[in-house]
Amino acid sequence: MEEKILFELDSLYRDNMRIKGYTFGSGEKSACIVGATRGNEVQQVYICSRLISILEQLEIQGKIKAGKSVMIVPSVNPYSMNIGKRFWSTDNTDINRMFPGYDLGETTQKIADGVFRNVSNFRFGIQFASFYMQGSFIPHVRMMKTGFEDIELAKDFGLPYIFRREARPYDTTTLNYNWQIWETKAFSVYTNATDSIDSESAAEVINAVLSFLNKQGIIEYNCHEGYISKFIEGQELVNVKTSTAGFFIRHAAVNARVRKGDLLAEIVDPYSGKSIDSITSPVNGIVFFHADQPVIYSHTPLYRIIPTDDLI
């Protein structure tokens, strides 16, 4: 294993910020794995740390294929992580909206530029991302519709779902999008946690990444190959919103099978303790995502459901 500082930012008042990469094997730039770009992505750093430990053992055992290399970047934003802040601590900008970066620009543009110079030109790019809303997902591979996405290749992760959505204008400044433009096969992988550690979903994603690397001939690793992935388009999902604000009392968890009319959640008045809204499922389906904030505002999306024809 080789540890390298990919980018260093001088600081007047505290230790310099150092973004580190950990490389295994040598030769072709085969796969790059990036963890947290935001300061609250604890689960994403945890998964990277476990992969670093496993790949170190595989390298010792000679199971990194000859002429192949894997680099892991656990965190792109350690400053914000140190103070528990999601975005850049000085101006609240999002580093994952600054790629491919600009070396003469603002601080976050410089960081994105320094990182992208080191993580580009890999065959495969895997990012452990988080959603803009606080909540939990079924572990899945997420892709943008750019014309460069590869659905069949994404099946090699063996995760339950492959999710594709339309690219929006602001997506053009994300790491995933720019990886694709620079001809890296890029995938965003989601677990069901962000600012906490969920060891069960972390283990599922770790197994998925190792299975993917094995199938691409980068490592030698005998593992469970996972699921036959189901492909879903973003517009297929049914969004369920609340009509009022209050405490969010959740009744249905991620991956739960629900029938039309089943109670998903209640909204409770914070002062009186009375239930003021009952959120029910509009369809038969599987809970793909749910919010997990304790206090919800009106017209907030609470659930995303994959509709099914289940009649059981």
pLDDT the model gives residue 71? 98
**pTM exceeding 0.85:** yes
pLDDT the model gives residue 211? 96
Mean pLDDT of the residues in the chain? 94
pLDDT the model gives residue 55? 98
Percent of the chain with pLDDT over 70: 99
Q: Integer distance in angstroms from the first to the last C-alpha of the chain?
A: 52
Long-range interactions of 295-300: CB distance < 8 A, separation 24+: 295/245, 295/246, 295/247, 295/248, 295/270, 296/242, 296/245, 296/246, 296/247, 296/248, 296/267, 297/245, 298/242, 298/243, 298/244, 298/245, 299/241, 299/242, 299/243, 300/241, 300/242
pLDDT above 90: residue 63:
yes
Across the range 122-129, mean pLDDT stands at: 97
- Token pair listed for 98: 């600054």
Alpha helices for 90-174 (secondary structure H): 107-119, 151-154
Chain Cα centroid distance, residue 104: 29
- 3-class DSSP state for residue 139? coil
Q: What pLDDT, in 10s, does the model give residues 136-193?
A: 999 999 999 999 999 999 999 999 999 999 998 889 999 999 999 999 999 999 998 8
- The torsion angle over the Cα atoms of residues 99, 101, 106 and 107, rounded to 10 degrees, is 80
Across the range 188-210, mean pLDDT stands at: 94
Distance CA 10, CA 115 (A): 15
pLDDT above 80: residue 311:
no
CB atoms < 10 A from the CB of 154, how many?
24
Q: Which helix (H) or strand (E) holds 145?
A: strand 140-145
pLDDT the model gives residue 309? 87
Percent of the chain with pLDDT over 90: 87
The CA-atom distances, in angstroms, between 156 and each of 55, 96, 159, 192 are 19, 26, 8, 20
Q: In one letter, which amino acid is 137? A: F
Cis bond before residue 100 (omega within 30° of 0): yes
Q: What pLDDT, in 10s, does the model give residues 281-306?
A: 999 999 999 999 999 999 999 999 99
pLDDT the model gives residue 312? 57
Q: In one letter, which amino acid is 309? A: D
Across the range 66-76, mean pLDDT stands at: 98
pLDDT the model gives residue 14? 76
Alpha helices for the chain (secondary structure H): 42-60, 78-82, 107-119, 151-154, 175-181, 199-215
Q: How confident is the model at residue 82 (pLDDT cuts 50, 70, 90)?
A: confident
Distance CA 46, CA 68 (A): 24
Across the range 204-217, mean pLDDT stands at: 97
Q: How confident is the model at residue 197 (pLDDT cuts 50, 70, 90)?
A: very high
Give 144's strand partners. Answer: 165
Across the range 237-243, mean pLDDT stands at: 95
pLDDT the model gives residue 296? 94
On whether the CB atoms of residues 156 and 216 are closer than 8 A, the answer is: yes
pLDDT the model gives residue 10? 87
For the chain, domains (ranges, CATH) are 2-232 (3.40.630.10), 237-307 (2.40.50.100)
Greater model confidence, 212 or 312: 212
The CA-atom distances, in angstroms, between 158 and each of 12, 37, 175, 230, 238 are 46, 25, 23, 10, 24
